[in-house]
Amino acid sequence: MYATTYHKAKTVDEAVKLVGQSESGKFLSGGMSLLPTMKQRLAAPSDLVDLRHIPEMKGISVSGSEVKIGGAATHYEIKESAELAKACYGLHSMASVLGDPQVRYMGTIGGSLANNDPAADYPAAMLALDATIHTNARTLKASEFFAGLLETALEDDEIVTAVSFTAPEKSGYEKFRNPASRYAMCGVFVAKTGSEVRVGVTGAGADGVFSWDEAASALSSNFSADAIKDLAVDPGELLSDLHGSSEYRANLVKVMAKRAVESAR
Amino acid sequence: MGIEGIGARVQRKEDKRFITGKGRYTDDMVVPGMKHAAFVRSPHAHAKIAGIDASAAEGMPGVIAVLNGKQLTDDGIGNLICGWMIHSKDGSPMNMGAWRPLADSTVRYVGDAVAIVVADTRSQARDAADAVVVDYEELPAIVDPVKALQDGAPQLHPEAKGNLIYDWEIGDGAATDKAIAEAAHVTELKIINNRLVPNPMEPRAALGHYDEAEDHYTCWTTSQNPHVARLVMSAFYNVAPENKLRVIAPDVGGGFGSKIYIYPEEIVCLWASKRTGVPVKWVCDRTEAFLTDAHGRDHVSTVKLAFDANNIVTGMKVDTIANLGAYMSLFSSSVPTYLYATLLSGQYNIPAIHANVRTVYTNTTPVDAYRGAGRPEATYLVERVMETAARELGVSPAELRRKNFVREFPHQTPVIMCYDAGDYDASLKAAMEAADYDGFPARRKEAESKGKKRGIGMSCYIEACGIAPSQAVGSLGAGVGLWESAEVRVNAVGTIEVLTGSHSHGQGHETTFAQLVAERFGVGLDSVSIVHGDTDKVQMGMGTYGSRSGAVGMSAIAKALDKVETKAKKIAAHLLEADEGDIVIENGELKVAGTDKTLPWFQMALAAYTAHNLPDGMEPGLKEGAFYDPSNFTFPAGCYICEVEVDPDTGKTEIIQFVAADDFGNIINPMIVEGQVHGGIAQGVGQAMLEAAHYDAETGQLITASYMDYTMPRADDLPSFQVSHQNTPCPGNPLGIKGCGEAGAIGSPPAVINAITDAIGTNKLDMPATPEKVWALLHSH
């Protein structure tokens, strides 16, 4: 690891200022991807500005059917929130299988979204929940936020301060882990509200997270695993690597989607 | 047996320091004035070095020196060697290419060391290493061992034409061909044994310290055999004569074979210490470990197994190509020959066997012994072809094996080994009962009703431990003897130190070796200390690998204990005015049998050192040494049964149960033995389902160079193991021990694969059986 200077920001404004003043500073919000990258000497930010202790970015609130989660909320906090588990079972279930216990204590939803790793879990949920991403500058729909592998609509001085969404009637998440990294090789989040169904897929897409609209439309008229049994994802749009060909991933998308529908509540 | 003696489940004495973080590893060693090293490594799999420009690096903060291979050559440091000579079948010696500790003209794999940077801190050394500019002229690379032998393949070493290191054979080719020609049935299989990365928990490290005033070197290093390291560094690499070189292997966090060998880094750190005048420490990071620790396995084989009309095996023919990587590591040549082909008879009567083995150079990390070393490759081949044959013949896999078991001992196989003792029926029966083998069809049916595919597979393995006797291995080409040494020092207060040439890097020697002493003299474990891992303290020894420390290392201790016992009894007889033959040792006392006359152990020891009243002519003191050279290999054997459930939708395999029934001979500490079996099975399951080193075919880059891509077994990949023992004592050594360190890794891979192939109904599966591979097979036929 190259030498770096650590800062603990107390406010969003202070964090933005600290990164702005630095030579090549980066926001740190758990560091579950950034720190390993730095340890491998593949990244060398001059400064790290920690967002995890900013009070305005913490907390989970459920008010009626409106859910808001602070960007600095950890996966553990999301998993443990009884209110959230009731409001959105799928997100609770996702946080329960996200990384491992150490990662769940350190990693945050804001950090994960800002990084937009193609194998990260939350992006699938955000798409399927049609969530709103709040930053220090604006609000965006999830569909506007994700912009390909490790790319988002965020500007350099922009921070994910919170996410919000309307609690679905039913939601579920199932993933198949990469045997080595244990990241999602394919994760499917299904959310149903009234006749509207959305399906978010992570880990499998060649361009990162995507909505499987064909499945969503089939499920909107018949919310059962049967509804998607004859559908197929085009392997040409999927990732292919050492652990899974695009054909295998196409199969996994379907299998995990069916299981997510079955587990949804 | 006392409560702490042979057979007792004593908790490990060494664990307190390990689990409280108080172990002392090479990286914990600090010497005044010590500086830190980083290596400049080749990013190319194959290239000429046109030049090295270190000027920028030399000017960087904290940098003391940047040293290269030319300087190393100028100082007379020798090539790394392979210490086991194999002759090709035409009688020619193996074609060993030169391996410079720092490459001076050609790099041959990604990670090949080119220069060393010494700096005040580790970060400074690494920063400067990044700034060393090496001018590489890239050459085409080859990573596939089969393609490396083909015409037109890129050539690695001028000494090895066609990349062929040797073309070796064993057994009777004509008799085997005849058996196959006359067979009622021949089962043929292509077998790939996947390349593995050892991944011990502690990465390698070395601290070299040259003392100019004494003209003496000290090397702290992560070694399984510090004396061999000293011998080789002294005799072949010209680092220093043995009396001027002390090698210390302190606590070592696992090795699995990868820390047997002498690597470039420790030699270069010692040399750099003399060159720079400062002690030089290098600690490997995990990426370097993936790239440079000797890998394991990597065989491509075909096997033909011939049966007569009664399903009796009549012959076996094997052709193997083994990838030894870019250079020949210390014992690499012996692994695919005498540690592999000599075990091809398995547990079976096979009248004719012939194996041909070609080893090849490729632009990959050197390959050497890894837990099991040759024996897993043999077992995987034998047990997969046996299971496949049973399926082709339509008979029960257990029955086919039983029909062909060796039952009379000693049993001379056609491939050198002479099995001394065993009861293969006993382990098969025990394993089948523990696994409720007969109840499997019902379980399969139940799984089917849930949409899952169940399979069951077995493996009846045999292996050879103790690698011996020295004269025999010498005649087969070994450059060293394979005995072990011990010295037992009884102190004046009766406490006991045992100096052993074995080395513990996780095996629990401090406990088991002490149990042996406790058993003999009835003293408490706390009063026995085991000393190992330091060439200045311990007499010459051969170290720990090949499951040899029980069978060979403890036998040496037993021999030294015999001598101590004899002298102790003489002293006691003299003091108790009794006949030496009437003295017995029990519970820490020397007693005159049939009387109430006793002498406490410590008083006997004190008498030996005060020397006020010893028998006429007896030397004072109580310290005895012994060297033990075994009369034969030992032959642990057993039966493993694995039951799996495959999810046909995803191809994911879950191990439902894993049964191990082993014959390890006599056991000192069952808890430690079970731990060895558990760990071995975990690594075997890793090979069977998870682990594989992948190289890019064009660039020779190691694709699986981190845990993001190299799948290590995790706790949730494994079931609770059912372990039992059906022991037949080994007749070849005084303690009746066979060895248990590698069996789990040897016996388990074929059991797992036989179970998965049973579940999915095809024999075409290669390791590792990843979900994708299994899914693809399920959906392709």
A&B contacts, CB < 8 Å: 47
- Whether B722 is covered by a domain: the verdict is yes
Separation of alpha carbons B557 and B497, rounded Å? 11
| Cα angle: B443, vertex B446, B447; to 5 degrees | 85
Beta bridge partners of A187: A175, A202
Helix (H, G, I), strand (E, B) or coil at B729: coil
Could you tell me if B367 and B279 lie in one domain?
no
The shares of helix, strand and coil residues in chain B, as percent rounded to the nearest 5, are 30, 25, 45
Chain B residues lying within 8 Å of A248, measured CB to CB? 651, 772, 775-776
- In this predicted model, what pLDDT tens digit does every residue of A9-46 receive, in sequence order? 999 999 999 999 999 999 999 999 999 999 989 999 99
Pick the closest to residue B312 from B185, B461, B460, B462 (CA basis).
B185
Q: Are B270 and B127 within one domain?
A: yes
Distance (Å) from the C-alpha of residue B708 to the closest C-alpha of chain A?
A: 4
- The C-alpha R_g of chain B, in whole angstroms, comes to 27
User: What CA–CA distance (Å, rounded) separates B550 from B736?
Assistant: 10
The predicted pLDDT at position B273 comes to 98
- The residue type of B666 is N
What is the percent of chain B where pLDDT is above 70? 100
- Of residues A1, A2, A243, nearest to B772 (C-beta): A243
Same topology, domains A55-166 and A170-263? Answer is: no
- pLDDT tens for B664-688 read 999 999 999 999 999 999 999 999 9
Q: What CATH architecture applies to the domain A5-50?
A: 2-Layer Sandwich (3.30)
Q: Which of A1, A175, A246, A248 should one mutate to test binding to chain B, selecting the residue with the greatest count of B CBs within 10 A?
A: A248
Q: What is the DSSP letter of A82?
A: H
- Across the interface, of B690, B694, B772, the residue whose CB is closest to A248 is B772
Q: CB B126 to CB A41 under 8 A?
A: yes
**Residue B364 in domain:** yes
pTM: 0.97
Q: Sorting pLDDT into bands at 50, 70 and 90, what band is B1?
A: very low
Residue B345 lies inside a defined structural domain of this protein: yes
- Residue B695 contacts A, CB cutoff 8 Å: no
Mutate to test the interface with B, among A251, A253, A261 (most CBs of B within 10 A): A251
Tokens (6 digits) for B243: 């009396």
> Nearest CA of chain A to the CA of B707: how many Å?
6
Q: Do A243 and B652 touch (CB under 8 A)?
A: no
Residues 460-489 of B with CB under 8 A from A: none
Q: What is the pLDDT of residues B171-207, one digit of tens each?
A: 999 999 999 999 999 999 999 999 999 999 999 999 9
Q: Among A176, A242, A245, select the one facing B694 at the smallest CB separation.
A: A242
**For B690, which residue in chain A has the nearest alpha carbon?**
A179
pLDDT digits (tens, 9 = 90+) for A143-184: 999 999 999 999 999 999 999 999 999 999 999 999 999 999
Cα distance between residue B82 and residue B11, in whole Å: 39
pLDDT at B356: 98
B18 in any annotated domain: no
Cβ distance of A242 and B710 shorter than 8 Å: no
Which residue type occupies B623?
K
Same-domain status, B542 and B619: yes
Q: Is B287 on the interface with A (CB under 8 A)?
A: yes
Q: Would you kindly state where each structural domain of chain A is located, as residue ranges?
A: 5-50, 55-166, 170-263
Where residue B99 sits, what CATH number does that domain have? 3.90.1170.50
| pLDDT band at B387; cut points 50, 70, 90 | very high
**Residue entry with tokens 């801190």:** B121
The CA-atom distances, in angstroms, between A255 and each of A200, B19, B331 are: 14, 43, 48
CB contact under 8 A, A180 and B707: yes
Q: What is the pLDDT of residues B64-107, one digit of tens each?
A: 999 999 999 999 999 999 999 999 999 999 999 999 999 999 99
Using CB atoms, which residue from B123, B127, B708 is nearest to A180?
Answer: B708
Chain A residue with minimum CA distance to B708: A181
The partner residue sitting opposite B772, judged by closest CB among A1, A2, A244, is A244
| CATH number of B494's domain | 3.30.365.10
Residues 6+ apart with CB under 8 A from B58: B65, B66, B128
Smallest Cβ–Cβ distance between B775 and the set A3, A179, A251 belongs to: A251
Quickly list DSSP for B653-672: EEEEEEEEEEE-BS-S-HHH
Q: Indicate yes or no: CB of A242 within 8 angstroms of CB of B709.
A: yes
Q: Is B13 a domain residue? A: no
**Residue A4: predicted pLDDT:** 96
pLDDT of residue B781: 56
A1 contacts in chain B (CB < 8 Å): 123
- Is B478 among the domain residues? no
Tell me: the pLDDT tens digits for A177-218? 999 999 999 999 999 999 999 999 999 999 999 999 999 999
B756 neighbors B646 (Cβ within 8 angstroms): yes
- pLDDT over 50 (residue B706): yes
User: Total structural domains in chain B?
Assistant: 4
User: How far off is chain B from A219, nearest CA to CA, in Å?
Assistant: 20
pLDDT tens profile B451-465: 999 999 999 999 999
ipTM of the complex: 0.95
Instruction: For residue B118, give its domain range.
Output: 31-139+203-292
* Mutant choice from B650, B712, B773 vs A, greatest count of A C-beta within 10 A: B650
Which positions in chain A touch B127 (Cβ < 8 Å)?
2
Q: Note whether B585 and B648 are same-domain residues.
A: no
Q: Please name the residue that has the structure tokens 């642990």.
A: B636
CA distances from B343 to A210, A232, B318 (A): 53, 49, 12
Mean per-residue pLDDT, B753-772: 97
Q: What is the pLDDT of residues B29-58, one digit of tens each?
A: 999 999 999 999 999 999 999 999 999 999
Q: Are residues B504 and B609 in the same domain?
A: yes
pLDDT 10s digits, B97-128: 999 999 999 999 999 999 999 999 999 999 99
The secondary element (H helix, E strand) that includes residue A103 is helix A101-106
Same-domain check for residues B696 and B762: yes
Distance (Å) from the alpha carbon of B369 to chain A's nearest alpha carbon: 24
Token pair of B622 as six digits = 């109580």
3-class DSSP assignment, residue B603: helix
Structure tokens at B72: 């190393």
Angle B601-610/B555-576 helices, nearest 10 degrees? Answer: 80
Backbone angles phi, psi at A116, to 5 degrees: 45, 50
Domain end marker among B628, B660, B693: B628
CATH domain A170-263 topology: Enolase-like; domain 1 (3.30.390)
Q: CB distance from B650 to chain A under 8 Å? A: yes
Residue B650 to residue A181, Cβ atoms within 8 A = no
Q: Which CATH number fits domain A55-166: 3.40.50.1000, 3.30.465.10, 3.40.366.10, 3.20.20.210?
A: 3.30.465.10
Q: Searching chain A, which residue's CA lies closest to the CA of residue B774?
A: A248
B581-637 pLDDT, tens digit each: 999 999 899 999 999 999 999 999 999 999 999 999 999 999 999 999 999 999 999
Q: Do residue B676 and residue B719 come from a single domain? A: yes
| Digit-coded pLDDT (tens) for B297-347 | 999 999 999 999 999 999 999 999 999 999 999 999 999 999 999 999 999
Contact A2 B711 (CB under 8 A): no
- Contact with chain A for residue B403, Cβ under 8 A: no
| B743 and B662 co-located in one domain | yes
Q: Does B734 touch chain A (CB under 8 A)?
A: no
Residues facing residue A205 across a β-bridge: A238
Output the pLDDT for position B2.
Answer: 60
- Which residues in chain A touch residue B712, judged by CB atoms under 8 angstroms apart? 180
The pLDDT of residue B479 is above 90 = no
Q: How far is B528 from chain A (nearest CA, A)?
A: 41
Mutate to test the interface with B, among A242, A243, A245, A247 (most CBs of B within 10 A): A242
What three-state secondary structure class fits B167? strand
Judging contacts by C-beta atoms under 8 Å, the chain A residues touching residue B770 are: 179, 243
Chain B CB contacts of A180 below 8 Å: 690, 704, 707-712
Q: Are residues B621 and B496 in the same domain?
A: yes
- Closest chain B residue to A119 measured between Cα atoms? B708
Q: For the segment B129-138, what is each residue's pLDDT rounded down to a tens digit?
A: 999 999 999 9
DSSP state of A230: T
Contact flag B770-A251 (C-beta cutoff 8 Å): no
Contact state of A248 with B776 under an 8 Å Cβ cutoff? yes
Of B650, B690, B711, the CB nearest to A255: B650
Locate B38 and state its tokens.
Answer: 């980083």
pLDDT of residue B3: 77
Does residue B4 fall inside a structural domain?
Answer: no
Instruction: Mutate one of B709, B718, B773, B777 to test the A interface: name it (highest A CB count within 10 A).
Output: B709
With residue B510 as reference, give the H or E element that holds it: helix B509-521
Q: How far apart are alpha carbons A164 and A130 in whole angstroms?
A: 9
pLDDT of residue B780: 85
Residues B124, B270, single domain; the answer is: yes
* Per-residue pLDDT tens over the stretch B216-227: 999 999 999 999
Q: Are residues B567 and B433 in the same domain?
A: no
In chain B, which among 89-148 make CB contacts under 8 A with chain A?
A: 123, 126-127, 130
Same domain, B594 and B489: yes
Residue B752 has pLDDT above 60, yes or no: yes
